[in-house]
Structure 1
Amino acid sequence: MTRHKFNVGKWLPSDQEFQDKWVKTVLKEAEAEENQKLLPPVQELKDLIDNNHYIWNLFQMMFDEIPLKDVDTPAGTPQVRDVHQLLLVLNHIIQHAPKFNTTGLVGTPINAVLDYPMGTKAGYVVFNNPKVNEKMKGILDYWGKYLQSSDSSYVLNTSKNGWLSPYALQEMAKEAKGDNFQKIFACRSSELDQKLGFTSWDDFFTRVFNPGIRPVASPQDDDVIVNACESAPYRVAHDLPLKAKFWIKGQPYSLMDLLHNDPWTAKFEGGTLYQAFLSALSYHRWNSPVSGKIVKAYNLPGSYYGEALSQGFENPRGADPVAANDSQAFLTSTATRAVIFIQADNPKIGLMGFIAVGMGDVSNNEITVRVGQHVQKGEQLGMFHFGGSTHVLLFRPEVKLSFNLHGQTPGLDTVNIKVRDEIARVK
């Protein structure tokens, strides 16, 4: 398998041994709190498992199917081995903010704990079950509120595990193709002991660029389409089918599932799709790829920890060590997502779609535009609040595009293209 300097998107560490030790440490901390009452959303998940025999069986099977001995990928023996341990760990994680560390385990601690269970056959069923996902959303929403509170700002410090340490600031600046964090990102204070003016971990996570740092490419040329997120190109697909078996190994895109049977789905049959993924260290807001009018915008429920069955332990090459990075196409049809339709000012583009997809530890894809609003190319559409993420641009078959991916071939080893930079041109 291709080895990456960091696991894709820097959501999980390239060092699997570190991840195993981290999970073991979290489990030990959680077990020390064993007598603590479960938080309401975790208790609701426990009640669902205890009172639904079918779901109870699935969770037991899921843990039984995890290999007992080391496997090729993921490597190492998992420490969370049963439902009781899982509930304790979830209860612990959602009372803390993510710490920075040099291996890259910075954004999705729940995803890290579920890395092994997600790769099993039973895990595939569990994490695509609507009742389970309803409870996982409750857990993530609870955690999200905590991360938006001032209590979560304690990780904004200069220690080695703090987000304001010299190394962390350097890495985030480097990811943004710069060398000074405060020159790149808007900070309300220049003082580190004032947390640079950020009020919570989520406030820091959703930070914005300073004016002029990300200019809009060719603002007067409507033939130029710009990058909607600070993201790395994952896939370009043409001649999109209306319906496909999105769960099979090749992970074809299924428009009916991607758009959840939206009445406008057929308009994109035979069209073109562009998908790219975001880094944990990057800018997490969405910007309009074109100038035009917002004609429809809504959120879709979905899975929070699903991965393609073909990328789990059934894969002859071994399970995806960074579930669910190898499942990004699959997730466009299954994960929680936000859909925004834009009627472009350029008649050669016309109706197009932007879809924000939550990959792991994401429950809130926040849309900040309203139907009827006119947006300029590069103007904000919304944001991810935490977790791993990917996004899609969708074009009708009449639109003929020439992509500019800045010398890169789409895949898992690409690097970020700046937000608002050119990614395509209408022929």
Structure 2
Amino acid sequence: MASGQHAAEGAEHEALALVLEHLVSAGPVHKTPDKLQPGTSDHNAITPAPISVQGHTHWWGRFFPGHMESTLDRLFAAHHMGNYVAVRGQPGKRIFESMPIYVRVGMHLLFYKSKEQSFLRYKSVEELLQTVSVRQGKVYDDESDPQAVLEHIQKFIATYSIDTAELLQPDPSKYPNFNSFFFRKLRPGARPIAEPDNASIVSSCADCRLTVFDNVAASTKYWIKGDGFTINRLIGDTNLADRSFPPGSSLAIFRLAPADYHRYHHPVGPTVCGPTRHISGEYFTVNPQAVNANFDVFSSNRRDTLLLNWTPKGAGTPVIPVAFVAIGAMLVGSIGWTNANQGTSVQRGDESGYFAYGGSTIVCVFPPEAKVQWDLDLKDNSANGIETMVRVGDRIGVSNA
């Protein structure tokens, strides 16, 4: 009986693994080439984050009257089938971000329950996510077929309504591979920095969906539901966390979806960069469906922690440490740094680094002595479990230190 039960569980595992593999890849891993293929440029099923600003067609509209859309949005959000995002500067406006149903089902299998109860209890599933992520990085670095590269870039632009006019290189045919477009540069002035001469301002480090919290307790009440989330685990250095980020430290969580500009910038300045700690980990998605689940995605994923030494009152005043944690995710095997070497002096808004393909997250941690006061609209939205769309350089708070 025991052997029969074991065999049944093994068969179930293999069946589910095949389903998951189909959900997160273009086909079986062992049969999928490591090169970009023409005619495979759809950016939907393989995208582990919702389409950001373009409208979506409610498939359920065929079955329900139009006036029920808002009710259904709320119902779907409550059952992890989508999430709301607020649009800054447009009070009361919220976008319901949906994902293809097959991707949502796959994420549900992975993240609905605790890790011990979910699909992630199988080591082979974690290995699959890593294999798919690493392979996809190679595919999007491939330059062997320029026409396939151009096809993928053009489809990506159309799918996500990318404004090519703001790009430093607006011609999609000039990018040698897909990743070079994914972490594309913007033309000077495309992202103005709020109050650039005010060193006490905190600005968004990315084009993203943002949540802010005055302390870890608030973040775990309204947003991060993973068991055991702590600053210590997040930054991967207990001594640093205990010394510099005690209870009462505040957080800003910047989630980048695939449509977003994927270079990130320093959120404070003037700043002197400290050391960067590289932490190995998994390749879980950082979509809200995972973050709102029962285990700690942020502290499980591969990530880099950069320590920033900020002087919000200017040179010669007390230095305030800020932890800048860049978190990789499903289909994101690469975290790149461009202006963050230890000892480098930077200003708020200066480029810091980039993510290769996929959706990713940055978490910034500010100690109590920073006395960061988050902008009220962001605090209110976050307390209601709603992300707010912001762009690089937008003001998000101020230090009253």
1:421 maps onto 2:394 in alignment = yes
CA distance in 2 between counterparts of 1:263 and 1:360 reads 29
Alignment correspondent of 1:409: 381
Q: Deviations over 1:269-309 (max 9, x none)?
A: 211111121121111111001121111112211111378xx
Q: How many residues align?
A: 321
**Preserved contact between residue 224 and residue 426 of structure 1 (Cα < 8 Å):** yes
Kindly provide the amino acid, as one letter, of the partner of residue 91 in structure 1: H
1:115 maps onto 2:107 in alignment = yes
Per-residue deviation, 1:370: 1.3
1:283 maps onto 2:261 in alignment = yes
Q: Deviations over 1:146-201 (max 9, x none)?
A: 3112137545546xxx5425x9348433xxxxxxx232112164xxxxx3411111
| 3-state SS in 2 of match to 1:209 | coil
Question: Aligned pair in 2 of structure 1 residues 81, 285: CA closer, same or farther (>3 Å)?
Answer: closer
The two structures, once aligned, show a CA RMSD in angstroms of: 4.0
1:339 to 295, 298, 305: 305
**Preserved contact between residue 257 and residue 358 of structure 2 (Cα < 8 Å):** no
1:209 to 174, 186, 196: 186
Structure 2 residues without counterparts, runs of 5 or longer:
1-6, 50-101
Kindly provide the amino acid, as one letter, of the partner of residue 303 in structure 1: E
CA distance in 1 between counterparts of 2:183 and 2:201 reads 26
Identity between Structure 1 and Structure 2 (%): 18
CA distance in 1 between counterparts of 2:13 and 2:397 reads 43
CA distance in 1 between counterparts of 2:363 and 2:355 reads 14
Question: Aligned pair in 2 of structure 1 residues 57, 230: CA closer, same or farther (>3 Å)?
Answer: farther
| 3-state SS in 2 of match to 1:324 | helix
2:165 to 183, 204, 207: 183
**Preserved contact between residue 225 and residue 289 of structure 1 (Cα < 8 Å):** yes
1:141 maps onto 2:134 in alignment = yes
Per-residue deviation, 1:263: 2.5
CA distance in 2 between counterparts of 1:222 and 1:108 reads 36
Question: Aligned pair in 2 of structure 1 residues 199, 61: CA closer, same or farther (>3 Å)?
Answer: same
CA distance in 2 between counterparts of 1:87 and 1:150 reads 19
| 3-state SS in 2 of match to 1:147 | helix
1:125 maps onto 2:107 in alignment = no
CA distance in 1 between counterparts of 2:9 and 2:265 reads 40
1:168 maps onto 2:157 in alignment = yes
2:334 to 354, 364, 368: 364
Per-residue deviation, 1:255: 1.5
Alignment correspondent of 2:198: 221
Kindly provide the amino acid, as one letter, of the partner of residue 125 in structure 1: R
Q: Is the deviation greater in 203-212 or in 410-419?
A: 410-419
CA distance in 1 between counterparts of 2:225 and 2:385 reads 16
CA distance in 2 between counterparts of 1:122 and 1:252 reads 17
CA distance in 1 between counterparts of 2:357 and 2:377 reads 27
1:390 to 344, 351, 361: 361
**Preserved contact between residue 137 and residue 331 of structure 2 (Cα < 8 Å):** no
Kindly provide the amino acid, as one letter, of the partner of residue 115 in structure 1: M
- TM-score, structure 2 length as denominator? 0.67
- TM-score, structure 1 length as denominator? 0.63
Q: How does 1:18-417 map to 2 (within 5 A)?
A: 62=13, 80=19, 89-93=28-32, 95=34, 97=36, 99-101=41-43, 104-105=44-45, 107-108=47-48, 112=103, 115=107, 117-119=109-111, 121-126=117-122, 136-137=129-130, 139-151=132-144, 154-157=147-150, 162-165=152-155, 168-169=157-158, 171-173=160-162, 181-187=163-169, 189=171, 195-238=172-215, 249=225, 251=227, 253-266=229-242, 267-270=244-247, 271-291=249-269, 292-305=271-284, 323-324=289-290, 326-327=292-293, 330-346=296-312, 347=317, 350-368=320-338, 369-404=340-375, 409-410=381-382, 413-417=386-390
Alignment correspondent of 1:34: none
Structure 1 residues without counterparts, runs of 5 or longer:
1-55, 67-77, 174-180, 190-194, 308-319
Question: Aligned pair in 2 of structure 1 residues 390, 107: CA closer, same or farther (>3 Å)?
Answer: same
| 3-state SS in 2 of match to 1:264 | helix
CA distance in 1 between counterparts of 2:127 and 2:193 reads 39
CA distance in 1 between counterparts of 2:140 and 2:209 reads 26
CA distance in 1 between counterparts of 2:10 and 2:289 reads 18
Alignment correspondent of 1:38: none
Kindly provide the amino acid, as one letter, of the partner of residue 141 in structure 1: V
| 3-state SS in 2 of match to 1:393 | strand
**Preserved contact between residue 293 and residue 343 of structure 1 (Cα < 8 Å):** yes
| 3-state SS in 1 of match to 2:292 | helix
Question: Aligned pair in 2 of structure 1 residues 380, 117: CA closer, same or farther (>3 Å)?
Answer: same
CA distance in 1 between counterparts of 2:157 and 2:359 reads 18
**Preserved contact between residue 149 and residue 176 of structure 2 (Cα < 8 Å):** no
**Preserved contact between residue 273 and residue 395 of structure 1 (Cα < 8 Å):** yes
Question: Aligned pair in 2 of structure 1 residues 82, 211: CA closer, same or farther (>3 Å)?
Answer: closer
CA distance in 2 between counterparts of 1:216 and 1:342 reads 19
